[in-house]
Amino acid sequence: MAHDNPKTIATINFKGGVGKTTVTWCLGDVLSEFSDARVLLFDLDAQMSLTQAIGLNEDGHTLEPEFQNWYEASTSRQRTIFNALDRFTNRTQHFDFPVGFDFIYRLTENLHFVPSVEDLYWQELEVFDRDAVKDFIRRLLGKIINSRKLPRYDFVLFDCPPSFTLLSYSVLSCCDLILIPVNPDFFASKGTNLILNSLKMRIEPFPIPRIGVFMNKAKTRGTPTKETRFYMEEVRLVCENAAKMQQIKTKFFESWIPERVGVKRAIKSGGVPTDLREPFQRLWQEVMEYMP
Ligand SMILES: Nc1ncnc2c1ncn2[C@@H]1O[C@H](COP(=O)(O)OP(=O)(O)OP(=O)(O)O)[C@@H](O)[C@H]1O
Ligand SMILES: [Mg+2]
């Protein structure tokens, strides 16, 4: 795989707990395993769920020593995503922030990771030049792409918070694909409708990325149950309508991810469960075909 620029994917939903973080992690892990693609994951959520999933020990309570040491060094050297944002918004002229392996953590040879920090909670209040933040991720990616110290990434995946923060906008205004997981419930079509009909207005004048919606936590008995299929159909219609009304490229993916009891928070304990690998590979297949 060799692209000039990495393909960028942001996982979002206004709704909490739909599986944004789980999906981001599983997609990254599955791809870096079944292909030789190099993947970079970003945790942009101050809740730090992805960071915990990646950094926590199997016990789920303590940080893995290697990660903990790295994280402490990164924080004390002021090399976190928050420091990068701070430098970017307070810069007088050029954006002076070195993007090396004290900013990016190497999970495996092909799977790298930029963790979150709690300081991001206050970013909305502390950032003086709000408008400048919109350009932040684009400029940061530019640095990563141009760095001679870093590998050439094929994919960059962003785990976004359930609220729309300045950072989310910054990602949405420059990514190639917005990936929206939904769950089989009443909120699936309502929430999808809300997002699809407000994104364009928010992101303009930047081009609107392609949008892909899919069912996570599908109730299944081999295949999705009647109830889950009902919600899938509802969301599919919402996607079709929004595509027409808003003139945005929106697709409801055929692939679904089943609900699997006991998806672990701590990732170190064996990665993506075996029975979820195939569903995530199918989802990747569809994502790749759909991506610009
Ligand atoms: N396919 C699945 N099957 C079973 N449980 C799942 C599945 N996907 C996610 N979960 C569980 O649902 C919960 C919420 O998942 P996750 O943290 O990924 O959601 P989120 O959308 O990132 O939440 P937040 O809005 O807080 O960021 C977690 O306990 C996770 O293990
Ligand atoms: Mg999350």
- CA of 16, closest atom in ligand 1: 25
Lowest mean pLDDT among 51-65, 138-152, 271-285: 51-65
Residue 192, classed as helix, strand or coil, is helix
Q: What is the mean pLDDT of residues 263-290?
A: 83
Predicted confidence band at 24 (pLDDT cuts at 50, 70, 90)?
very high
Per-chain mean pLDDT for the chain? 91
C-beta neighbour count of 54 within 10 angstroms:
24
Domains of the chain by residue range: 7-290
170 Cβ inside 6 Å of ligand 1: no
CATH number of the domain at 7-290, please?
3.40.50.300
Mean pLDDT of 31-50: 93
- Ligand nearest to the CA of residue 12, numbered in listed order: 1
The answer to whether 141 and 106 have CB atoms below 8 angstroms apart is: no
Q: Tokens 């960059």 appear where?
A: 156
DSSP single-letter state for residue 103:
T
pTM of the model: 0.95
Pairing mode, strands 111-114 and 223-224: unpaired
250 or 123, higher pLDDT:
250
Neighbours of ion ligand 2 (CB under 5 A): 20-21, 49
pLDDT recorded at residue 2: 44
Condensed to tens digits (0 to 9), the pLDDT of residues 175-223 reads 999 999 999 999 999 999 999 999 988 888 889 999 999 999 999 999 9
* pLDDT for res 1: 43
